[in-house]
Chains A and B, each alone.
Chain A
Amino acid sequence: MVFNIYNNLGEVKVSSISKSPWIIHYDGSSCNGCDIEVLAALTPRFDVERFGIINVGNPKHADILLITGSVNTQNVEVVKNIYNQMGEPKVVVAIGACACSGHFFAECYNTLGGVDKVIPVDVYCPGCAARPEAIIDAVVKGLGVLEEKRKKMKQKK
């Protein structure tokens, strides 16, 4: 254990944001299939807290926004609001086929299509429903983007 702590101390300097990505989860107009899979990732079987990932209910505390389901005219303001309340650096991950492109709701009169029609999306995670492994993979992919954004933020300063 002591050795482990010593090893970890060296890595703190490298980056801490990719070691503690806090996620917030928003359900657009999903069928709940992807939502269940997102929550499954938090359970003992997959346990995303291994990577320091915590599911928070507050956009001000979150680093990564997970959106499931397509965006419709009812929730477009909510999605924008959550996105704007998050502090930089932040990453948006679209979970599931509906969030990526609108899937078979794309042509519906009441939906606007994928999440990227409203806010910039960094990682797409296809699947219907997306599996927990794929979701964890997408979040880990998002960590790279988060790291880049943090570096850009530092350069601006």
Chain B
Amino acid sequence: MHWIIWCILGIILTPFLGGLIAGVDRVVTARMQRRVGPPFLQPFYDVLKLFGKEKLVVNRFHGDFVLCSLIFTVASVGLFFAGQNLLITIFALIVGNVFLVLAGYCSNSPYSMLGAERELLQMLSAEPMILLSAVGLFMVTQSFDIATIITSGKCLICYLPGVFIALIYVLTIKLRKSPFDLSTSHHAHQELVKGISTEFAGPSLAWFEVIHWYETIFLLALLYLFFASTPILGVIAILFVYFLEILIDNINARVKWELMLGSAWVVTLVLGLGNLMLLYGIQHI
């Protein structure tokens, strides 16, 4: 029974927390650019407005794909907070992402198509590292169960510093921040108009935002797992990492996809896999 309550709490509270984080993100970004910036609740105003707008969908499958994406992303967050299997939650998140790509492929708009293609490239760059982090957590705690990982009491970051740093690197891709905001971005550089979300209008764009909030919280929660034995340090680490992401977002320009894919894989192999090999060596000698 205990885990069902956690699951429901996670699903209900996540959009509020995610929206608030997005709002703080926008204010901090504005302050970095010497602007005043919008109110903290601006993302909620945006989403509420979008729900009230006219539905302009070019393909009748578009709405279904967005709904499927929402269901899988919400399910992955729910399972995460319920303390279930880490691998299942990561796979559910990936499936949710794939449905978003399908929604992007729905229309014939070249911007939307190219955005969807780039979203696939982003997934190809980021997902290996996210899966490797699950493997790393397994090697230390001998379990994929999130509840077991949290209660293991081990200092996971001490065993997996390389994995953690590599995870921060791919976090920039998953959070759609510069320099890796290839498929779509919250900012004004409009090389692809709006990339994958070009054909999202009104309510479906609102769902797109809500899905992104869920994704953000999932990834931050994944980072928290590394500090599960010391909760206060974990919260501080998450805040620091998110601030770092905003800073990186503001001082970098968008890169080409070759550089994103290459650098993400090099970081994954060197820091992620290197860390795991060292750990294996230490455990078995």
Contact = CB atoms under 8 A, between A and B. Distances in A.
Interface of A: 1, 4-5, 8-9, 12, 16-17, 19-20, 42, 44, 47, 49-52, 54-58, 60-61, 63, 85, 87-89, 150, 153
A119 to B, nearest CB: 17
Interface in B49-72: 49, 52-56
A91 to B, nearest CB: 13
Interface in B109-166: none
A63 B45 CA distance: 14
Contacts of A17: 49, 52
B52 A150 contact: yes
B202 A52 contact: no
Contact of B42 (A1, A52, A60): A52
A55 B188 contact: yes
B252 to A, nearest CB: 20
Contacts of A4: 39-40
A58 B36 contact: no
Nearest to A53: B38
A57 B201 contact: no
Given A12-B44, A61-B205, A150-B52, 17 more contacts: A1-B40, A12-B45, A16-B45, A17-B52, A20-B49, A44-B33, A44-B34, A49-B37, A52-B38, A52-B42, A55-B188, A60-B198, A60-B200, A60-B201, A61-B194, A63-B49, A153-B54
Contacts of B199: 60
Contacts of A52: 38-39, 42, 45-46
A17 B45 CA distance: 7
Contact of A12 (B48, B190, B201, B202): B48
B42 A44 contact: no
B52 A16 contact: yes
Interface of B: 26, 30, 33-42, 44-46, 48-49, 52-56, 188, 190, 193-194, 198-202, 205
A16 B47 CA distance: 9
A88 B40 contact: no
A56 B194 contact: yes
Nearest to B40: A5
Nearest to B111: A58
A84 to B, nearest CB: 10
27 contacts: A1-B40, A5-B40, A5-B41, A8-B41, A9-B41, A12-B45, A16-B52, A49-B37, A52-B38, A52-B46, A55-B188, A56-B190, A57-B188, A57-B193, A57-B194, A58-B198, A60-B56, A61-B201, A61-B205, A63-B53, A85-B56, A87-B54, A87-B55, A87-B201, A88-B54, A150-B52, A153-B54
Given A20-B46, A61-B201, A12 B41 contact: yes
A49 B30 contact: yes
B188 A19 contact: no
A150 B197 CA distance: 24
B53 A87 contact: yes
B45 A20 contact: yes
A20 B42 contact: yes
Nearest 7 A-B pairs (CB), nearest first?
A57-B190, A16-B48, A87-B54, A60-B201, A19-B45, A88-B54, A47-B35
Contact of A58 (B52, B54, B193): B193
A51 B49 CA distance: 14
A50 B193 contact: no
Nearest to B55: A87
Nearest to B186: A54
Contacts of A153: 54
